[in-house]
Amino acid sequence: MMKTRTEAIRAAARTLLEEGRVDAVIGYVQGTIPLRAQPFVAYTPEECDRFIWSSFCGGNLASIASGRTDRVAVVAQGCVSRNLNGLVHENRIQRENLYIIGVPCIGMLDQRKVEAKLFGRNIEFLKRDPEEDLGEIVVGGCNAMGECYEEVIKRRDVKRDNCYTCMHRNPVGADTVVVEPVSETAGGDINAVATPWMRFDADRRWEEFAKNFEDCIRCYACRDVCPLCYCTTCFVDESNPQWCGKTQDSADVQTFHILRAFHCAGRCTDCGACESACPQGIKMRRLTSMLEKDVRTLWGHEPGMDSTTKPPLSTYRPDDPEDHFK
Amino acid sequence: MKEIELYEPRIVAFFCHWCSYGAADLAGVSRMEYPASFRAVRIPCTGRMSPKFILHALRQGADGIWVSGCHPGDCHYGTGNYHSRRRLELLKNMLDYIGIEEGRIHFSWISSAEAEKFQQMAIRVVEAVRGLGPNTRLVKSVCSNCIPPVPTCDTMHECYEPLEEIPGAPRPNGSCCGGNGL
Amino acid sequence: MQHRILSKDSLAAFLEGLRKEHVVYAPKRDKKVPNKMVWKILEPGESPLFEFANTDMSPKDFVFPQSECLMRFRTGEDGTSVLKPIEPEPRKTLLFNVRPCDGKGLSFMDMIFCQDEQTNDVYWRDKRERTLMVGLACNNPCPSCFCHEANCGPHSETGLDVLMTDLGTRLLLKPLTDRGATLVDGLPEAAPGDVDRAEELKGTVEASMKPVIRTEHLEARSLMDAYNLPYWDRVCEACINCGTCTFVCPTCHCFDIQDETTPDGEEGRRVRNWDFCMSPLFTLHTSGHNPRGKKMARVRQRFMHKYKYIPMKRNGEVGCVGCGRCVRLCPVNIDIRDVINAMNAPAEAKPEGQEV
């Protein structure tokens, strides 16, 4: 029988550590509450038995690998493997120190969407988490009075937004791929949904933009979870000149989000970690997906498809489009 | 209509040292007339232009932005303007997308010999921004957005009355406080 | 004080009465984000929700806003003057359906902001005095809650003005302060049976919460012993050093003060903003030295502060109310309950004074 992803990851990780080919393996372990997974660094073969793969591995392990100098193996689905390729190019990781354990991915689920379907009921367990795209998960729980329930939810109803339009679900440039590849794309058309505000006029676009980011609490989870954000001092922390104030004024919050997104332009793999991390449920991808669409249209670039191509904003062509220049 | 004519926008212009800045000079010594609504900031190359500069200018109250550099292929440093071309194209698209009006941000290539193009471009930029009126987007205000119980106000004088000067409080002093009066 | 009873049918009239003197806020479902609960004004005609876990953000923002203007100033030729705000309309805020953990959270922060004559924060006190809290006892705690083990509880009364218990079609209201008594004045008195029913509920709910954290060794453990636990090197590996846990926390209270001026430097304001100990900037000195320069030191700080430093200084009170928000919202699922258990478990400590 074919191994499940969890079994295959454990076996691959264990072998790597046993054979001494890496010093550590970065993967996920079961979270302390249902619908969560926790990044974990295993240093011994025994610790590898804690690894899991679930529908809720919505972070980005490339950010944990980034900047490490020991030899690490990273459990990576399509988007994360592309981030790793990018980080190799940017010299954040040496390729010879990196081993990519590739996992073909069927898309992660948005725990908020699952919770919303069960509003007011506690989720105490995830009973079934199938490895088929069109499968159904089963969640359930009990209340204080001892009344219990179980609910069947279709995966396709509660996927994360970015996972509907994923372009590369299979790992890119992985050293090993632990299970059979899945269909390369998730089926959704990213270009069709990347710029939802484009149909409005400027005033309305501004309104939508302001509304989209009004709940931001400046916790910077979107920045900190992102493998592309590794500056020693982020521009929001610079004080002279102070590019971005520290307050909750809309100008400060908006400046942060514009620059954060722009700094990721041409490098973002649409992994969705920023939206998964946000405690306020803000849709940062409204900006990043627009930028990536432009990057594809203007310069035909797809980030992270190998570790040698320069990101589009670090290079040029003499005949680049220049519609905005007079 | 009259009011719009009277309104003078504040435009921050970033000019490359090797070309557009020279063009501005040439236009000046050639006695060409152009509007005086922009403040020129000399930068070493458009490759130095960071999106932060543009957002910072808007944040500080600029109504429009104009970036001008050497024609592609003529960069003093070889490729600075090629790089900035990609960056600025993308930034402009993004600012359009979030609703910063099209006519607020302008880019141009002007060599140091093109005083006439400089003059035309200056008129064009100022007219476009003037037509849009004052910018309210991405502007940092230290006065609005007061959080209750401090009342909201447009100018501080409206909703605050001065207390008497605090006895013994340090006077603004350029030597110890960077001269900004804090 | 006498318990009162309120039928949910007459809730609208009761709320209308409250609205005469207060701006009434209640937890509502967010329109944009699935399964997000936010504090919003309860408009006339709107009925409050009773079946919800808790709001995503604690209500500390009402008393300790994330950005708060402390004063304004102007510079001129004759010196700097501080400007006094014109007396604002005294507006009272009423938080309806506050969960007991959040009531406890604000009462905990009273201890921080109003410690003694020297430390008596007017900005806090002003808003705290104008904020009333009508609590709603938890009848269905989340799996991530552990209030019963953090000096709080699903029916805890601390900090609230009124505690309501949902009895199905009716609410039992227990006034806890004079202000609370005024609020419920005029409602019919509760029958002894209702009070017993609420007590029974309280017992059932508390019994349903399983023990999850252990702190019995933590108190006796020396500070340096806990500080030097090897565990810290592991738990920080997953942490991304964002501010989520501190910003959603009902007891985190650190702030940063900045002066902001107009571009010409003539006018300005002093603003107080929430700050978070996970940020390297939090402890960065002007010299460039950073005493908590490493991620591990910053992660350790938060948990040590809540479960070691505060209990040491404040007679066993912990800096946590067990609301479980950080457990639910942490992007990498670092669970404070696991961390506490690890701090409690006997383990070999690193040599003292090790460089961090």
| Cα torsion through C264, A253, A215, A63, rounded to 10 | -160
Looking at CA atoms only, how far is residue A31 from chain C in angstroms? 6
Task: State whether residue A39 sits within 8 Å of chain C by CB.
Answer: yes
Q: Are residues C178 and C251 in the same domain?
A: no
Task: State whether residue B174 sits within 8 Å of chain C by CB.
Answer: no
Q: Are residues C338 and C246 in the same domain?
A: yes
Residue C348's pLDDT is: 55
Whether C261 is in a domain gets the answer yes
Q: Is the confidence at residue B160, as pLDDT, over 80?
A: no
Question: In the beta sheet, which residues pair with residue A140?
Answer: A125, A150
Residue C119's pLDDT is: 80
H or E segment to which residue C255 belongs:
strand C255-261
Q: Are residues A69 and A123 in the same domain?
A: no
pLDDT tens-digit map of A23-51: 999 999 999 999 999 999 999 999 999 99
Whether C338 is in a domain gets the answer yes
Q: Are residues C167 and C27 in the same domain?
A: yes
Whether C351 is in a domain gets the answer no
Which structural domains are found in chain B, ordered by start? Answer: 2-132 (3.40.50)
Residue B6's pLDDT is: 65
Looking at CA atoms only, how far is residue C41 from chain B in angstroms? 15
Identify the domain boundary among C208, C233, C268. Answer: C208
For residue C130, which amino acid is it? R
| CA C103 to chain CA mean position, Å | 7
Q: Are residues C249 and C315 in the same domain?
A: yes
Q: What is the pLDDT of chain B when averaged over all its residues?
A: 82
Whether A225 is in a domain gets the answer yes
Looking at CA atoms only, how far is residue B99 from chain A in angstroms? 4
> How many domains are contained in chain C?
2
What percentage of chain A exceeds 70 in pLDDT?
100
Whether C281 is in a domain gets the answer yes
Q: Are residues C250 and C168 in the same domain?
A: no
> Which of B87, B106, B140 minimises the CB distance to A313?
B87
Structural domain containing residue A298: 188-314
What percentage of chain A exceeds 90 in pLDDT?
92
Residue environment code for B131-163, b if the CB has 16+ CB neighbours within 10 A, otherwise e: ebeebebbbbbbbebbbbbbeebeebeebbeee
Q: Are residues C120 and C167 in the same domain?
A: yes
How far, CA to CA in Å, does C213 sit from each of B100, C150, C344?
Answer: 52, 9, 9
Q: Are residues C141 and C16 in the same domain?
A: yes
Nearest alpha-carbon partner for C123 in C62, C167, C57, C164? C62
Do C79 and B165 make contact, defined as CB atoms within 8 angstroms? yes
Cα–Cα–Cα angle for C53, A136, A109, nearest 5°? 55
Whether C13 is in a domain gets the answer yes
Do C331 and A277 make contact, defined as CB atoms within 8 angstroms? yes
Do A145 and C204 make contact, defined as CB atoms within 8 angstroms? yes
- DSSP β-ladder status, A136-142 and C67-76: unpaired
Task: State whether residue A125 sits within 8 Å of chain B by CB.
Answer: no
Q: Which of C71, C86, C87, C92 best tests the B interface by mutation, with the highest count of B CBs <10 A? A: C86
CB under 8 Å to C175, separation ≥6 — which residues? C1, C2, C4, C161, C162, C181, C183, C184
Looking at CA atoms only, how far is residue A214 from chain B in angstroms? 13
Q: Are residues C126 and C249 in the same domain?
A: no
Whether C213 is in a domain gets the answer no
Rounded distance, CA A121 to CA C53, Å?
8
Do A324 and B121 make contact, defined as CB atoms within 8 angstroms? no
Report the range of poorest mean pLDDT among A78-92, B62-76, B134-148, C270-284.
Answer: B134-148
Rounded distance, CA A31 to CA A123, Å?
13
Residue B148's pLDDT is: 37
Q: Are residues C130 and C180 in the same domain?
A: yes
Residue environment code for A248-260, b if the CB has 16+ CB neighbours within 10 A, otherwise e: bbbbbbbbbbbbb
Task: State whether residue B176 sits within 8 Å of chain C by CB.
Answer: no
> How many domains are contained in chain A?
3
Q: Are residues C157 and C37 in the same domain?
A: yes
Nearest-by-CA chain B residue for C64 = B147
Do A143 and C260 make contact, defined as CB atoms within 8 angstroms? no
Q: Are residues A28 and A9 in the same domain?
A: yes
Q: Are residues A225 and A129 in the same domain?
A: no
Number of residues that this document lists for chain C: 356
Task: State whether residue C131 sits within 8 Å of chain A by CB.
Answer: no
Q: Which of B98, B108, B182 best tests the A interface by mutation, with the highest count of A CBs <10 A? A: B98
Residue C58's pLDDT is: 96
Task: State whether residue C61 sits within 8 Å of chain A by CB.
Answer: no
Rounded distance, CA C142 to CA C150, Å?
15
Task: State whether residue A196 sits within 8 Å of chain B by CB.
Answer: no
Q: How many CB atoms lie within 10 A of CB A313?
A: 19
Nearest-by-CA chain C residue for B153 = C85
Looking at CA atoms only, how far is residue A238 from chain B in angstroms? 12
pLDDT tens-digit map of A255-314: 999 999 999 999 999 999 999 999 999 999 999 999 999 999 999 999 999 999 999 999
Q: Are residues A149 and A200 in the same domain?
A: no
- Number of residue pairs across B and C with CB atoms under 8 Å? 83
For chain A, what is the radius of gyration of the CA atoms? Answer: 20
Rounded distance, CA C194 to CA C186, Å?
18
Do B148 and C67 make contact, defined as CB atoms within 8 angstroms? no
Q: Which residues of C are less than 8 Å from B61 in CB distance?
A: 263
Whether residue C81 contacts residue B157, with contact meaning beta carbons closer than 8 Å, is answered with: no
Do C72 and B160 make contact, defined as CB atoms within 8 angstroms? yes
Rounded distance, CA C204 to CA C209, Å?
9
> Which of B61, B161, B164 minimises the CB distance to C86?
B161
Report the complex ipTM.
0.93
Do C242 and A276 make contact, defined as CB atoms within 8 angstroms? no
pLDDT along chain C (356 residues), means of 10: 92 94 94 92 93 93 90 76 63 93 95 84 85 95 92 94 95 95 93 94 92 89 92 93 95 94 84 94 93 94 94 89 95 95 75 47
Structural domain containing residue C247: 223-344
Whether A167 is in a domain gets the answer no
Looking at CA atoms only, how far is residue A279 from chain C in angstroms? 6
Hey, is C293 helix, strand or coil?
coil
Q: Which residues of B are less than 8 Å from A208 in CB distance?
A: 99
Q: Which residues of A are less than 8 Å from B85 in CB distance?
A: 316, 320, 322, 325
Residue C30 burial (C-beta neighbours within 10 Å; 0-12, 13-18, 19+):
middle
Mean pLDDT confidence for B156-176: 41
Q: Which residues of C are less than 8 Å from B182 in CB distance?
A: 75, 259, 261, 265, 268
Q: Which residues of B are less than 8 Å from A299 in CB distance?
A: 86
Q: How many CB atoms lie within 10 A of CB A41?
A: 20
Q: Are residues C151 and C18 in the same domain?
A: yes
Task: State whether residue A261 sits within 8 Å of chain B by CB.
Answer: yes
Whether residue A154 contacts residue A109, with contact meaning beta carbons closer than 8 Å, is answered with: no
Whether C113 is in a domain gets the answer yes
Mean pLDDT confidence for B72-100: 96
Do A279 and C204 make contact, defined as CB atoms within 8 angstroms? no
Question: In the beta sheet, which residues pair with residue A152?
Answer: A138
- DSSP β-ladder status, A72-76 and A136-142: unpaired
Nearest-by-CA chain B residue for C81 = B165
Q: Are residues A62 and A144 in the same domain?
A: no
Residue A46's pLDDT is: 96
Mean pLDDT confidence for A83-95: 96
Residue A286's pLDDT is: 95
> Which of B142, B148, B156 minimises the CB distance to C83?
B156
Whether A281 is in a domain gets the answer yes
Rounded distance, CA B159 to CA C72, Å?
11
For residue C309, which amino acid is it? Y
Residue C86's pLDDT is: 55
Whether residue C200 contacts residue A145, with contact meaning beta carbons closer than 8 Å, is answered with: no
Whether residue C296 contacts residue C260, with contact meaning beta carbons closer than 8 Å, is answered with: no
Q: Are residues A208 and A296 in the same domain?
A: yes
Whether C215 is in a domain gets the answer no
Looking at CA atoms only, how far is residue A116 from chain C in angstroms? 4
Q: Which residues of B are less than 8 Å from C80 in CB distance?
A: 165, 169-172, 181
Q: Are residues A95 and A116 in the same domain?
A: no
Q: Are residues A86 and A124 in the same domain?
A: no
Q: Which of A26, A147, A220 best tests the C interface by mutation, with the highest count of C CBs <10 A? A: A220
Task: State whether residue C151 sits within 8 Å of chain A by CB.
Answer: no
Q: Is the confidence at residue B2, as pLDDT, over 60?
A: no
H or E segment to which residue C171 belongs:
strand C170-175
